[in-house]
Structures are given as structure tokens and as C-alpha cells.
Structure 1
Amino acid sequence: MTPDDLVSRLLYRDGLMLVVDKPAGLPVHRGPKGGENLEDHFDALRFGLPRAPALAHRLDRDTSGCLVLGRHRKALERLGRLFHDGRIEKTYWAIVEGAPSEEEGHIDMALGRLDSTRGWWMRPDPLGLPAQTDWRVLGRARDAQGNDLAFLELKPQTGRTHQLRVHCQAMGWPMLGDPVYGHGKREGAPPLHLHAREIDIPMRENKERIVVRAPAPAHMREALALCGWRAETE
């Protein structure tokens, strides 16, 4: 990733916020072990303002798609309130291993920390924080080995850590390539197939909502096409 690469991934820009298409495999900020991260290149996104934009929320390292940045303090405060109050609508695409028995549904499953030694790893926990996800099947297929795959649209109603990944795993259809909650650690496994497809933000009161979509990432296109998705429908 270079500053120019990041600028080329800009999906939306106005005076208050930016939306960039985050690549899979790159963390949004520096972790305790250091290493390359997206935030290191935010200075390239100042576009004349005295300070670089800042993260309004987070995406996991291996998740691609819509990432929202605030361009100044007041914008970040507004975005923070909108995220906290659940007024920002998020839509994700995922490929899961397995065959949901229904075509759509709602998951209401509280989540808690797995244990103190596993960082941010989560698990279903009746005593944990409430977590809800709406889901819908957009396509189905079988891979070359005869394994069922499903292309899901996921709409989280809450914002818990790893919520979508844990919810899908708990339902019996883990995400393709998930190294923590699925089979992504096995040899030859693909990257995580989870993409922040769309973000819908009521940034200004009494104004039209801002809706931004990120194109399907290269690493998911083969499985998406197998499930019936076509690039020309982007």
C-alpha cells in the first residue's frame, strides 16, 4: 500500500467525511507488534485540510470494503454518535461454508470474550452483550469438492467484535477462509470472504442519506460467481 494506492481506493468525499475501500489483509491501525497499516497513509487524504482524517469505526484486518473516516473533530463526533446510536446501516457480503436451511432470518445471540488469553476472540455467551444480525441468502453453490457454499447478505443491528463471524459459525455455516472461527487455517485455505459492501449514513439532519458501496474484492469474485453473482451487476 502506498499513499497513491489509498487515494485510488477513495469511494466518497465531502467536507465532513471520506469512505475508502479497505483492502483485505491490512489492519486499519498499528497494533502492539507494529507493522504496516492503513492509518499510516491517511496524510494523503487531507485534501487541503490542516490535519489528516481519522477513523470513525474499525474493520478487521481480513475484512475488505467500506471504511468511514471523519475529516475533522466535529465530523468525528457526529459519526461517533451515529455509530453508537445504531443509525448507520451496514451491509456485508460473505461466502459461508454450509447450507442455511432458510432463505433469510434473524440471529439474536449475545456474545462474550472467549477467554482472557485470546485477545478479541469471541463466543456465544448468554451473559454477554446483546448482538443481532439479519441475514439473507443471495446465492448457493457447491465447490469442486462437493461442499455447500452460500452467498449471504448480512446486516448487523449491533456492532460487537467479530459479530458476523461468530454468528455465522454458531449457526453452522462458518465464513470461507476464516482462520479463527472457520477452517481458514488449513493448508491452501483462501482469505476470509467477508466484505463491507455498503454503508448508509444520515450525516446531515433533514438531508438525503449518504449511501456508498464498495466493489467486490478480487479474492471473493470466484466464489461469488460460483454462487450466481455477476460482475456486470455491480
Structure 2
Amino acid sequence: MSFQPPVTLSDAEIAAVRASVVFEDAHVLVLNKPAGLSSQGGRIKANTLDDLLWAFARSNGKRPHLVHRLDRDTSGVILAAKTKPAAGFLGKAIQSRKLTKTYLALVETPPPQDQGVIRRALLRQEIGRESYMRAVPDGTPGAQPSESRYRVLARSAQGALVELEPHTGRMHQLRVHMADLGSPLVGDARYGGALTFAGRKAERLMLHAARLRFPHPEGGERGVEALVPDDFRTLMAAAGLVAPERSDQAGACSS
């Protein structure tokens, strides 16, 4: 008798999640999450990415599990562990801040400098059923120290393409840090971002997890990239923004 997963997936869902695989081996699974898909939980009654991982379940009922999350409207690289030892290994790596995450974002108001480091404590607040983060002075009770790096990759009269790297992993960290800098992310209504860009409507938060570097359970490190989605590229093109060329291939995994 074959194993039946507790989540029923349609053929289209199975095909879509399998098509999103960027890298896979015996220990890890890396996917390019589309915007609009929740990583886990959430109040929307639809299958999450964690649910969709049942598409990779084995006959013994074992299936991959996510080891970190992306916001619902953020696209890009997300990592899952295929075994319990791999999950433990990667969980410790995250706690030790050994994962390097690199994002791309669009902003209407470019940062004042071409690059820099933002160090601002963040305080979580609950407003109704929603959770928000707020930049506050160091030492504020309940606040967490937070640090992000930014670098402007391209500018135009319409805005800028910015590379972001969180050095800590707070909720909404990049979004709040950039808003505090005066450069909220396009499409980020929660934190003051423009809802149009270069004369076009921004349908969602313009934040993409482009690259991830992580220690591998078998030793060494792996670097993975996820292709920038079409909606992001369309707004870039409308604003006349061109990303610098990279020598390595998007979607490839390197040691």
C-alpha cells in the first residue's frame, strides 16, 4: 500500500513546485519561490510552500522541510532539508549566522550613498492581527540589534536597483531598514513604499532573494542563485535599470 500524504496536491501544483527546483541532492533541496506563495502558515486558505513539499515525499512518508522562510510577497531562493540530520546541521548553521543571503530590491528613492551598512535596532509591534517592525534607538526595551548591508547596483531618473544583505535575521529587517534610510522598497505598502514605479503598477513587494551561500552537510559550502522573475524584470526595464553582469550562471550551484 503506497503512502498517502496528508496534503492533497493538484497535478498543476506538483508540476509547478518541481519546476521551481534550483538545486537538489541527497541532503538539501533549493527552490525559487514565486511571489504570492506563503512559506509556511499564514491565514490564507491555500497550500503553502511547506505543504507543496509533499510533492517530494518518499514512500516511507519522509519529505523535505524548510529551514528558513521568505515573506509571502518575496520571491527567490529558499532552502529545505531532505533528512533530519541535514535539518539539524542547517539549523545550527543558521543560528551561527553562517548562511549568506543576498537580495535584489527596487526603490523609487535611491539611498544617499552608493553603499553602506545599516545598524538599527528593531522592535516588533502587534497592531490588530498584524505584526510590524519598527526601527528604534539602541537600548529600547524589547528591541533586537539588527544589521544590513546595501549596495546600489544601478540608478536612473526613475529609481534604483539595490543589492541587500541581512547580517541578522529579524522579521521584515530589510524592508524596515531601507524605509528608515528613506528608501522604502517599491510595492511595500506596509512600510511606505511606492505602489507604482516608472509609470507602472507595482503588483507586489519588489524584493527577490537572488543568492544563497550555505555550509553543506557533506562539507564545504554551496552557492545557489535564483532567476529574477518576470514582474521584477519588467519594472527594471521600464525604469531603465540594468543589473551588472555576473560571471557565474544564475540557477547554478557551486562549491
TM-score when normalising by structure 1 = 0.89
Query: 1:131, CA displacement in angstroms?
Result: 0.5
Superimposed CA distance per residue, residues 81-103 of structure 1 (whole angstroms, 9 cap, x where no aligned partner) = 11111001110000112022211
Aligned residue number for residue 121 of structure 1: 132
Structure whose alpha-carbon radius of gyration is higher:
2
Query: 1:200, CA displacement in angstroms?
Result: 0.2
Q: 1:181 aligns with which of 183, 191, 209?
A: 191
- Secondary structure at the aligned position of 1:61 is classed as coil
Identity of aligned residues (%): 34
Query: Taking structure 1 as reference, are residues 18 and 107 closer, same or farther at Cα in structure 2, changes over 3 Å only?
Result: same
- RMSD between aligned residues: 2.2
Q: Which runs of 5+ in 1 are unaligned?
A: 144-148
- Secondary structure at the aligned position of 2:151 is classed as strand
Q: After superposing the two structures, state which structure 1 stretch, 22-31 or 151-160, moved more.
A: 22-31
- 1:14-53 residue pairs with structure 2 within 5 A? 14-46=25-57, 50-53=61-64
Q: Is the 8 A contact 2:107 2:162 kept in 1?
A: yes
- Secondary structure at the aligned position of 1:120 is classed as strand
Query: Taking structure 1 as reference, are residues 107 and 232 closer, same or farther at Cα in structure 2, changes over 3 Å only?
Result: closer
Partner Cα distance (2:223, 2:68) in 1: 16
- 1:150-165 residue pairs with structure 2 within 5 A? 150-165=160-175
Aligned residue number for residue 146 of structure 1: none
Partner Cα distance (2:104, 2:60) in 1: 34
Aligned residue number for residue 243 of structure 2: 229
TM-score when normalising by structure 2 = 0.82
Q: Does 1:130 align with 2:145?
A: yes
- Secondary structure at the aligned position of 1:51 is classed as coil
Q: After superposing the two structures, state which structure 1 stretch, 154-163 or 116-125, moved more.
A: 116-125
Partner Cα distance (1:109, 1:84) in 2: 20
Query: Taking structure 1 as reference, are residues 134 and 21 closer, same or farther at Cα in structure 2, changes over 3 Å only?
Result: same
Query: 1:142, CA displacement in angstroms?
Result: 2.3
Partner Cα distance (1:215, 1:49) in 2: 33
Query: 1:188, CA displacement in angstroms?
Result: 4.1
- Secondary structure at the aligned position of 2:106 is classed as strand
Q: Does 1:105 align with 2:105?
A: no
2:79 is aligned with what amino acid? V
Number of residue-to-residue matches in the alignment: 228
